[in-house]
Structure 1
Amino acid sequence: MDIVKHPESRQLVRTVKASAYVFEDQNSKCLMSYVEQIAPSEASVLIVGETGTGKELVARKIHALSNRKNKPFVAVNCGALSDTLAETELFGHEKGAFTGAISHQIGWFEAAHGGTIFLDEIGDLSPSIQVKLLRILQENEVVRVGSRQTKKIDVRVIAATNIRLEEAVYAGNFREDLYFRLKVASLHVLPLRLRTGDILPLAQHFIYDYSQSLNKKPPNLSEEAQQLLVDYHWPGNIRELENAIHHALLICKNGVIQSYDFQLSGFKHKLLTSEYDFSIYRNSNQTLKQLLFSWFEQGIEDLNEQLEAEITGAAYEYCHHNQLHTAKLLGISRNIIRARLIKHGLLSPNIRI
């Protein structure tokens, strides 16, 4: 990963190698088709997706396909900025603006002038910073801390979040007007478990990349290892896959990566504490009707209860174990979802979240 310095600052900004772009799954190809449509515009973009799914890669792809491609791309992790630090980092400050401000410093927005600024974890910004960000989007100008002069900027904003901003708006933690300003165009980067066609191409990419850095011949993936990678649910998404490949490269023997060379602690995790193992059907190409036929053939007792357990467990996992989000996803109350989670052994009765 390359590193570049922020102008007039000692802080560091990440840049990602273009070779990391791997979008082979059909869902990913549809996403890229949409990216190609919106990239040439000047519209603000909101990218939603779980941590580690490649939201920054998508943002860089939008920038690379835009008319701003030869201008700066600045990536800022809003979650790493404290309330006191966020304003000066984003908008800059003048000499003497506060104790320790021994010289003026431009902010990230000025550094991105003419190009694109990527605001990762946008939902972590405080309400006061949200107000200033809204003004930037409306007026295309910034005011440094300690200054009364505005500075015109030309910046395209791409924001990303791993939470449902609609929920944050409803809870009063995120401004509704800013939300709609950011969401001129929006897209959802699916978790790796829902785009399995990307898994093996990504694995091969990381094998080649790390083999180059280790100065060794790229090993092959055994059939068992390939099946393991495809079947695994990847709660850590692409980052977890990258780490798993890196570890396997370090310990594999005879130029072949075996399934036991990976450290996948959650591989045998099951959503349900049931004697019936439904996981063999989850990654198949069967239709829902075929899946039900398979269950009918097993002669499962209390099928409705099993279906309720499976749906509840899957929704709970999809919502990252957030009861409120799970309840809204299924269209039921939080009390009902809590009762179902307890009934099916997915939540301790003593835990309240």
Structure 2
Amino acid sequence: MSETNTKSILVVDDEPGHRMMVRAVLEDAGWRVLEAESGEQALEELVRDGSENGLESPDVALVDMKMPGMNGMELLRELQTRRPGLPVILLTAFGSVGSAVDAMKQGAFDYLTKPADNEELKAVTHKAREYRLLLMENARLRREANDGNVEFIGASTGVAHVRELIAQAGPSEATVLILGESGTGKELVAEGLHRSSTRAERPLIKVNCAALPDDLLESELFGYEKGAFTGAVKDKPGRFQLANGGTLFLDEIGEMPGALQAKLLRALQEKIVEPLGSVRPVETDVRIIAATNRNLKAEVEAGRFREDLYYRLAVLEIRIPPLRDRREDLPLLVSFLLKKLGAKNHKAIRTVTPAFLDTLSHYDWPGNVRELENVLERALILSRSDALSPELLPPQFHGTDPSYQPAQADEPIFGTPASLEEAEKMAIIRALEENGSHRERTAEALGISRRTLQYKLKKYGLTRRQ
């Protein structure tokens, strides 16, 4: 991220004369001008360390529409993927204005006709940078409002411990190993760690190691050069390069094959990667966060996972409790998820019956929060009223325990409110009691900002005296 008192622009144009003119105008206006003569060169420079040329973090990109090789539209799409929020201004000949307008519909910030008018060039680039700074400020405010918790909902002791570890480990550079069953929210924890880190303005790149074949996983991680194998028609940077300066999240790391584990270990130790087909190592600056639902210690003992890699990854372990071990979070989770799903499906649910919540609390939740979200979305879609009741739940919720009889709708259930607002209010009261009415600790325990807690207290009439 460029400092607000230093502004830099990447100019991509295959015409040296026009680049020289643009440089003179923009340097006179206080810009630091970075140049590339092709789209390929621009992308190559963007994935390098950047300590010498600074090309890793321009405020604005000025891109010629017509260039040999990768054209301006193709470069626009690549930049949108690799540098989200980077304003791209297109340079086009007078007769190709229609193409530039089409590009703006696909996300370009603006366009200029060549040769660019000096004053218009200054005005448009200034406006683009102001837009970039606004996006960055909005992102900062959102992070502060969320306190880095990324919707990791719950007031239980286990969830509070996870949030505490995120707050402690986030600003560090340590590798983190997230452990937990499928559906517990490992990706949310990884996002929380990234957002609370000093790398928050840089990319968070995610790779599911179980979703890709072994040979494809290697090329995705480390990239390849043109001609490295059949079908490699051009260079492709790997996820390590795309995450340069940011965070790389390796989900399902326990599924990674042994040969690839050795290459990953070298990348972690030496901070370099070797793209397939290349003899030139590429330096990387990446923080690694890994996650697995396997017992990696058992995998090490069985010889399926490298011990040295395990200890390299597990500098800090964050273990997420399964939903069955934090059932007290169910009312809060149900309230949160139904609001989210209601907005998604254009359907409001204001009430859940006591029997509905009671049935949920007696289920074992093998799929954890992901399963809960699917179950609630199903019930919401099937409901013909603004209330949810047990008959809307799938078959596995009925008759799984012969000794269990769910409460009737009119039976009071201790600690089980009938409305979503009552569930939220009860969770806040419980958190206040457990934290001695201390507002900041209560907000942290609930996973919300203090400002949000203040709003909720006022909404539910929970004064200090009460």
- Scaled by the length of structure 1, the TM-score of the pair is 0.71
Match of 2:156 among 25, 33, 40: 25
Q: How does 1:44-55 map to 2 (within 5 A)?
A: 44-55=175-186
The answer on 1:194 being equivalent to 2:325 is yes
Paired residues in the alignment total 266
| Cα-Cα RMSD | 2.5
> How far apart, CA to CA, are the structure 2 residues paired with 1:25 and 1:5?
39
Match of 1:35 among 166, 187, 198: 166
Aligned-partner SS, 2:207: strand
Q: Aligned residue for 1:184?
A: 315
Q: Deviations over 1:48-71 (max 9, x none)?
A: 110010011011111111111111
Match of 1:71 among 195, 202, 205: 202
Kindly state the Cα deviation for residue 229 of structure 1 after the two structures are TM-superposed.
1.7
* 5+ long unaligned stretches in structure 2: 1-78, 84-145, 405-413, 416-466
Q: Is the 8 A contact 1:200 1:229 kept in 2?
A: no
* 5+ long unaligned stretches in structure 1: 9-16, 278-283, 286-353
Match of 1:156 among 252, 273, 287: 287
Aligned-partner SS, 1:79: coil
Q: Aligned residue for 1:263?
A: 394
Q: Deviations over 1:28-83 (max 9, x none)?
A: 01111122111111000011110010011011111111111111111110001211
The answer on 1:81 being equivalent to 2:212 is yes
Aligned residue type for 1:154: D
Q: Deviations over 1:212-235 (max 9, x none)?
A: 122222331111111122221111
Q: Deviations over 1:204-257 (max 9, x none)?
A: 122111211222223311111111222211111011100100011011132110
Kindly state the Cα deviation for residue 22 of structure 1 after the two structures are TM-superposed.
1.2
Kindly state the Cα deviation for residue 7 of structure 1 after the two structures are TM-superposed.
4.9
Q: Aligned residue for 2:383?
A: 252
The answer on 1:169 being equivalent to 2:296 is no
> How far apart, CA to CA, are the structure 2 residues paired with 1:6 and 1:225?
43
> How far apart, CA to CA, are the structure 2 residues paired with 1:54 and 1:218?
24
Q: Is the 8 A contact 2:158 2:320 kept in 1?
A: no
The answer on 1:224 being equivalent to 2:343 is no
- Cα 1:21–1:136 change in 2 (3 A) is same
Kindly state the Cα deviation for residue 267 of structure 1 after the two structures are TM-superposed.
5.4
Q: Is the 8 A contact 1:68 1:115 kept in 2?
A: yes
Aligned-partner SS, 1:186: strand
The answer on 1:233 being equivalent to 2:364 is yes
Q: Deviations over 1:137-191 (max 9, x none)?
A: 1011111000011111111101111010111111111000000000000111111
Q: Is the 8 A contact 1:7 1:106 kept in 2?
A: no
Q: How does 1:83-122 map to 2 (within 5 A)?
A: 83-122=214-253
- Scaled by the length of structure 2, the TM-score of the pair is 0.54
Q: Is the 8 A contact 1:20 1:205 kept in 2?
A: no
- Cα 1:70–1:183 change in 2 (3 A) is same
Q: Which has the higher contact order (CA 8 A, sep 6+)?
A: 1
> How far apart, CA to CA, are the structure 1 residues paired with 2:398 and 2:80?
39
Kindly state the Cα deviation for residue 266 of structure 1 after the two structures are TM-superposed.
5.2
- Cα 1:264–1:27 change in 2 (3 A) is farther
Q: Highest CA radius of gyration, 1 or 2? A: 2
- Cα 1:250–1:151 change in 2 (3 A) is same
Aligned-partner SS, 1:158: strand
The 4+ residue runs of structure 1 with deviation greater than 2 A are 4-8, 17-21, 216-219, 266-270
Q: Deviations over 1:316-349 (max 9, x none)?
A: xxxxxxxxxxxxxxxxxxxxxxxxxxxxxxxxxx
